[in-house]
Amino acid sequence: MTFSVYGPQNEFTNALVTEFGKLAKTALATTIEELQTQNAANIIAVTPFHDNVPMSFGKKVLRVVRTDTHDKLQNNGTYYVVGRVNIREAAQIVVKRFVGFESSKSCVICPSSMVIDTPLAVFTVPLELSSEPSLKKVITVSSKPKELKEIKKQKFAVRVPRKKLSLSLPRYNVRRSLIFLLIFIIWFFSLPYVLLIVSGACSYTAIKTLPNRNSVMTSPLLRCGQVSALGANTLLNFSPLKSSGNLPQFMYDASQLALEASSIYKGLPTLTIDALTAVTPDLYKLSRDIAILSSRTDEIAQISSLSRELPFFLHHSSLFQVLAAAASQSPDLLGKQEPKTYLVLLQNNMELRPTGGFIGSFLLVDVDNGEVTAQKIYDVYDADGQLTGFVKPPEAIVNYLGEASWHLRDSNWDPDFEISAKRAVWFLDKSLNRKVDGVIGVDLEVLRTLIQQLGSIEVPDYGGTLTADNFYSTIQSEVHKEFFPGSRKKSNYLTAVFNAVLSKLNKEGSRNTISLLTGIIKNLDSRDIQFYSTNDVLQSEFNKAGIAGAVSVNSLGFVEANVGVNKANQYIERAGSWKLEKEGSGTIAVTGKLEFTNTAQSASDETRYRVYLRTFAPKGSVLESLRINVGGVMQAIVPEKETLPQREQEGAFFELKAGEKALVTVSWSCPPATDISLWKQGGVLPYPISVSVLTGGPSRQYNTTFGQDEHIEL
């Protein structure tokens, strides 16, 4: 902001320069050339020069007329300084009026002893040489003629009469119009994104309320999210900004599917056979629609930073197909025609075995016409003790476990869960004469997930509290304390834990449903939960969803078996790397490394990790080398080859004492393929790996946490 006072140099113009100079840069211009040179944004033209001021857009001009008479004062945007007023105070009034909100209105500045009959606003100041030096400034604002009397007060007075409604059009204010236009443009362009945020917030809140069947807010929130997304989509169609792409439509479709899911969920107050059969068509439609939505990867990537749950569930859209298939098969699965029995293998991954852990106990659940009629936990040795006859075990079980015969407790020797589950079913039939219709394998990581989400669990009659930190040591202490062959202590305690978890789920599950489901799905990804069903339709869906624990034809990886008859896996940490390089012939050269660290503080039989390690690759692969270095010493091993119809597999045994490290390096030459899947073993905690892929084009190298199968395109 700059000022030019345009007029002859005198006491009044100098006073104006002084007063305006207190606000911003101000200069006096006595000629038109000086005025143009100064190029100030604000011009105060003092008569007789004001009629010649050059007008230009953007400049603010004030005309000040000094006159000795008050006759013929016009309302034309001019400040009239009448008579011999106090110049300094008159200049101050000019400044205050000009920089204030009434700067465009005319006014009269006159001595306080004068009476002015004019429609203009009148400001009175003392005379320049007043005989009454104590006279104070009196300001009277008037919109109509009014006689002013001499006022001798210590404080000035302001009178602002109420303005009458005028039918005249206001002066067009370009600056104000531009501001309003700018505000409208900003509002118009930002509104779609505000609506998108509202849509996401409503949908997220609705998902949080969904576990409560009685919530009256779920549907309104989802509809709010739907309407907001629709509004954002409509506005963006008229907007040149297309950065959101199809995100509004995606949010609209997601809200619509959430409404469908909510309707299905609330329509299933109980999981009866008839209710499940009735919602089967809706579940199939929902699963197909979710699969389509999950294919829109660009939109999912856009919302991943705002919502973790929605992209996570969409990436597991195949699980909705499993639910639909289970509902369609519910008459068979829930025993409408004949009772069904299901086997749950309780695998202790602190004593790691190929499908997740040593089978120390198992649960049998009987279902008849949709109702659970019996459930009982067994110690595995109760069943193994009733097995008659001899079953030849694999050579590694004979050589490293010292078992002359094969039993249920070692039935999960194959890393493919379907193969091991069928073997467990066979052993159970031969030992307890019980036929089962499906098998579920779970390890201790599932219990850890439940405790983390539900909170600590009290175990009645045993006086213990299970937490995510102490649950394993507490269970081990209870089941082994005063244990003897034939004792029911182990199964009784595990039954008490199982019932306590179910009770906690009934009380607290609805409060943590989303986080609980997220944790369980991660357990599925990590093979801590695996399924096998004798129902072919359902088993097919298990395989498609990747929860059947299968070893696919293009799988590559390591599988461990703790053969030390101890719980040493609680001390083992891992880190790995894989390098895949496509050669000129199309074959794939693979080098894998797996480092083990035994973190136990004291050396004993309980902390020594005796492991039979196998590595496998797609059918037709050739093992180039298998080297094991323990504590800096290279082991002398001869890989033990197994002939399998699905894959090539070779193994070796080594020991790792407390405080030691071991490095296993394997090299495979694999047949040509378009993709490879790095297989993750159930019961193994996630560990860091690095992956390097060389295919002749741009190389890829990245680090990740190995918590589930890693699929690599070649």
320's tokens = 């909705």
End-to-end Cα distance, the chain: 66
Strands in 552-699 per DSSP E:
555-562, 572-582, 588-598, 609-618, 622-630, 633-634, 640-643, 647-656, 661-670, 675-678, 687-694
> What pLDDT shows up at residue 37?
87
- pTM listed for this prediction: 0.73
Backbone angles phi, psi at 664, to 5 degrees: -105, 130
Please state the rounded mean pLDDT for residues 61-85.
81
Mean of pLDDT over the chain: 85
> What pLDDT shows up at residue 152?
38
Strands in 240-284 per DSSP E:
none
How many whole angstroms separate alpha carbon 407 and alpha carbon 401? 12
| Phi-psi group of 242: left, alpha or beta (phi > 0 → left; psi -120 to 50 → alpha; rest → beta) | alpha
Strands 2-6 and 25-29 come out as parallel
Closest by CA to 344, choosing from 327, 361, 356, is 361
How many whole angstroms separate alpha carbon 670 and alpha carbon 306? 41
How sure is the predictor about 226, in pLDDT bands with cuts at 50, 70 and 90?
A: confident
How sure is the predictor about 159, in pLDDT bands with cuts at 50, 70 and 90?
A: very low
- Determine what percent of the chain is predicted with pLDDT higher than 90: 48
pLDDT, tens digit (0-9, with 9 covering 90-100), for 292-343: 989 888 888 877 766 777 788 888 989 999 999 999 999 999 999 999 999 9
Q: Choose the weakest-confidence range: 85-89, 157-161, 640-644.
A: 157-161
pLDDT, tens digit (0-9, with 9 covering 90-100), for 679-696: 999 999 999 999 999 987
Q: Tell me the three state secondary structure of residue 109.
A: strand
> What pLDDT shows up at residue 482?
62
501's tokens = 């978890």
How many whole angstroms separate alpha carbon 711 and alpha carbon 332? 34
Residue 183: Cβ-neighbour burial (10 angstroms; 0-12, 13-18, 19+): exposed
Q: In this predicted model, which residue has the larger pLDDT, 80 or 615?
A: 615
How sure is the predictor about 140, in pLDDT bands with cuts at 50, 70 and 90?
A: very low
* Strand ordering across the sheet containing 609-618: 640-643, 647-656, 609-618, 555-562, 675-678, 710-713
Strands in 192-290 per DSSP E:
none
CA atoms within a 13 Å half-sphere pointing along the CA-CB vector of 593: 13
How many whole angstroms separate alpha carbon 512 and alpha carbon 269? 18
How many whole angstroms separate alpha carbon 344 and alpha carbon 524? 15
571's tokens = 């001390």
> What pLDDT shows up at residue 143?
40
pLDDT over 60 (residue 55): no
How many whole angstroms separate alpha carbon 335 and alpha carbon 562? 38
How many whole angstroms separate alpha carbon 714 and alpha carbon 224? 44
pLDDT over 90 (residue 416): yes
pLDDT over 90 (residue 99): no
pLDDT over 90 (residue 154): no
> What pLDDT shows up at residue 120?
83
Q: In this predicted model, which residue has the larger pLDDT, 277 or 151?
A: 277
Question: Of all residues in the chain, what percent are helix, strand and coil, respectively (each to 5)?
Answer: 35, 25, 35
Contact, 333 vs 541, CB < 8 A? no
pLDDT over 70 (residue 148): no
How sure is the predictor about 49, in pLDDT bands with cuts at 50, 70 and 90?
A: low
Name every residue whose Cβ is closer than 8 Å to that of residue 527 and which is 6 or more positions away in sequence.
Answer: 355, 356, 417, 549, 680, 681, 682, 683, 708
Residue 536: Cβ-neighbour burial (10 angstroms; 0-12, 13-18, 19+): exposed
How sure is the predictor about 166, in pLDDT bands with cuts at 50, 70 and 90?
A: very low
> What pLDDT shows up at residue 483?
61
pLDDT over 50 (residue 555): yes
107's tokens = 């006014």
pLDDT over 80 (residue 620): yes
pLDDT over 90 (residue 629): yes
pLDDT over 50 (residue 437): yes
Strands in 298-455 per DSSP E:
340-348, 358-368, 371-379, 438-443
> What pLDDT shows up at residue 142?
41
Please state the rounded mean pLDDT for residues 155-181.
55
Residue 170: Cβ-neighbour burial (10 angstroms; 0-12, 13-18, 19+): exposed
How many whole angstroms separate alpha carbon 242 and alpha carbon 246? 9
How many whole angstroms separate alpha carbon 603 and alpha carbon 659? 8
Strands 121-125 and 138-140 come out as antiparallel
How many whole angstroms separate alpha carbon 35 and alpha carbon 38? 5
Count the neighbouring beta carbons within 10 Å of the beta carbon of residue 13: 23
Query: Looking at this protein, which amino acid is placed at residue 15?
Result: A
pLDDT over 60 (residue 162): no
Q: How is 147-180 classified by DSSP, letter by letter?
A: PPPP---SS-----PPPPP--SPPPP-HHHHHHH
Closest by CA to 649, choosing from 614, 612, 613, 611, is 614
323's tokens = 């639910």
